Amino acid sequence: MFIRRAAWPMREAVAALQKRRAKLASDPAAVYFSEIYNHVVQVVDTTETFREVLSNIFDIYLTAIGNRMNEVMKVLAIIATIILPMTFVSGLYGMNFRHMPELNWRFGYPFALSLMAGIAVSMILFFRRKKWL
């Protein structure tokens, strides 16, 4: 940035000197003014190229961070999707209804646990088949 700030005004100044060379200097000096102008333009072009490359590198870095965050969000969404039906089942059995046949059944609790485990396993298999996990 410092080189760019210094080179841009220098480019204009050297161009102005090159235009007024007939009044200020002889013809052999004109070659030197032309060389100086070419070098300044080269410096300006090089700094612009570096600036563009740096901007592209920064964009690539931000894209990589975004992709990593998307992967984390995908995993969290899958975990939430797997836990949601299990929360529903546990909430349903936790309401203590009187006329729920499974509440008085001897295997009601193991049935609810195996239902939640079955839902989780089936969802994991579904996600793997879809290649989401």
Asked if residue 22 has pLDDT above 60, the reply is no
Domain of 47 in residue numbering reads as: 2-129
Number of domains, the chain = 1
Q: What is the chain's mean pLDDT, rounded?
A: 84
Instruction: Provide the pLDDT for residue 127.
Output: 87
Q: Where would I find the H helices in 1-133?
A: 2-19, 21-24, 27-93, 108-129
pTM of the model: 0.58
40 by Cβ neighbours in 10 Å (0-12 / 13-18 / 19+) ranks as buried
What is the distance between the alpha carbons of residues 37 and 21, in angstroms, rounded to a whole number? 13
CATH, residue 106: 1.20.58.340
pLDDT single digits (tens) 112-132: 888 889 999 999 999 889 887
